[in-house]
Structure 1
């Protein structure tokens, strides 16, 4: 028979084991609670992050959709802050380039090919050599395929060789050097004409915005004309941001070397000290070649 002391010792051991099991269960419960709380927090954080990402993505998509819609050809959206409108390719761009005869050619030349113009080459590099320095041009076939097609055709036939840049403007609103006329008088052309492209084709023909000036930025190459659809061979090189209605086809850009050459020419001013006329420093285009 166990003694009273032995029974008390056994009861104590049993109580100690029970307390240990209770403590272990309580510890496990606390750990489970902590884990559940952490998981809950992570779920909430993940939900918040997902919501932020989705909201941001949706907002971006909405903004992109709005931009695309407002920039549709003929949507009559004025350029923001006086800038050229964002380019959106009109239906049929480059698919029907026509060059109807107009006047007498100032220099014998064949008209460019008509109809669909290949647009797989978005940009075409061109070297313009003058007696004042060289200009590297990058023609924008993606925005102005019919214009690029004509310019490349004329250059390839030597139409621009040994011709003078006949006009320089130096006002704050118009700072350009104009070239492309074999007569050197500003009245010559290739014997054909063709329609405007970018930025004119981003507006409806009756849009009043076509009469409002926009900024043709420094480094722009654009076509000179005498009205809608009268593009020929004359083009101008923008050496300082200039204000013009969006009726002059932008078809390329000028590299840094070319801009330095233009700055030198412009620095010499206009003959007679005016702001519009023949450049004081004669500028002879020796040749224009496709690279």
Structure 2
């Protein structure tokens, strides 16, 4: 009996030793794994810290590739105002801001009248007129006034002085008022003969109406933004300026006795001055607005 109990004790002891050995081996493996993970983590932190110190995580500032807005158009409320005509708005970006743009006006009084729009000094006025010309906005409309300053007023389909498109834009290139003292012996004209300028009511809310000066004009409080000049057909403008006038609806004797009708108004592609740098917008010029191909009513 004693020998049987001894064997059982030995077997139990051996089993316990095996269990303890397995537990010890498992504990050693866990410690090795933890040590390996810790070492790897330290290595990752060292590498990341070195990369950060060398600027690997620095981001280059993202370049804003959006085209800058050249012009802003202010919508006008057309409800209850039959004088305004909604023909959309010109683009605000990608507009040419250098060189000139040819504009041709043909009237029932003869023509054509050739005009050079100044893209450097009045890019928004040029963009607006080009857009309106592409919509045949000016075709078959009257130049409804011969102004006291010596200019032909055109561009209002309603013929009231209150008409235009359903947007407006701010003035560009308004002349500086001459100094009051000392007065020069011969004061230069504010608006020389052949000047083309915008006109609006109130001043600064320009839309479609423009002036073509057929004689020199001096203003001590100039309000008309200069947008270009006549390069051909000034004799036609002078002929129209000499027409007799009758009273308009407001009772002012400014309306030409014989209707002066714009049969067509077209605007061609921008033309860069050979001496000027390329278009500073860095973008292609818009398609032709109101050219002979774009305006079926062009004559």
TM over 0.5: yes
Check whether the contact 2:102–2:115 (CA below 8 A) recurs between aligned residues. yes
Superimposed CA distance per residue, residues 137-165 of structure 1 (whole angstroms, 9 cap, x where no aligned partner): 11111110011110111011100011000
TM-score by length of 1: 0.58
Structure number with the higher helix fraction is 1
Q: Do residues 248 (structure 1) and 224 (structure 2) align?
A: yes
Partner SS state of residue 278, structure 1: strand
Q: How far apart are the structure 2 equivalents of 1:289 and 1:256?
A: 15
Give the structure 2 partner of residue 262 of structure 1: 237
Please give the residue correspondences for 1:42-57 in structure 2 after superposition, counting only pairs within 5 Å. none
Partner SS state of residue 103, structure 2: strand
Give the structure 1 partner of residue 267 of structure 2: 290
Superimposed CA distance per residue, residues 138-193 of structure 1 (whole angstroms, 9 cap, x where no aligned partner): 11111100111101110111000110001012x4xx10110000111111110111
Partner SS state of residue 287, structure 1: strand
Gaps of 5+ in 1: 1-93
Check whether the contact 1:97–1:116 (CA below 8 A) recurs between aligned residues. no
Q: How far apart are the structure 2 equivalents of 1:188 and 1:221?
A: 19
Q: Do residues 152 (structure 1) and 130 (structure 2) align?
A: yes
TM-score by length of 2: 0.56
Superimposed CA distance per residue, residues 234-260 of structure 1 (whole angstroms, 9 cap, x where no aligned partner): 111100011233321111111242x11
Q: Do residues 114 (structure 1) and 92 (structure 2) align?
A: yes
Give the structure 1 partner of residue 70 of structure 2: 96
Please provide the CA RMSD for this pair: 2.8
| Alpha carbons of structure 1 residues 168 and 228: separation in structure 2 relative to 1, 3 Å | closer
| Alpha carbons of structure 1 residues 255 and 182: separation in structure 2 relative to 1, 3 Å | same
Q: Do residues 237 (structure 1) and 215 (structure 2) align?
A: no
Q: Do residues 167 (structure 1) and 145 (structure 2) align?
A: yes
Q: How far apart are the structure 2 equivalents of 1:230 and 1:130?
A: 26
Offset at residue 214 of structure 1 (A): 6.0
Gaps of 5+ in 2: 1-67, 181-187, 269-299
Please give the residue correspondences for 1:1-291 in structure 2 after superposition, counting only pairs within 5 Å. 95-104=69-78, 106-115=84-93, 117-120=95-98, 122-134=99-111, 135-169=113-147, 171=148, 174-199=149-174, 215-244=190-219, 245-257=221-233, 259-271=234-246, 276-291=253-268
Q: How far apart are the structure 2 equivalents of 1:262 and 1:276?
A: 19
Q: How far apart are the structure 2 equivalents of 1:279 and 1:285?
A: 13
Moved over 3 A (4+): 272-276
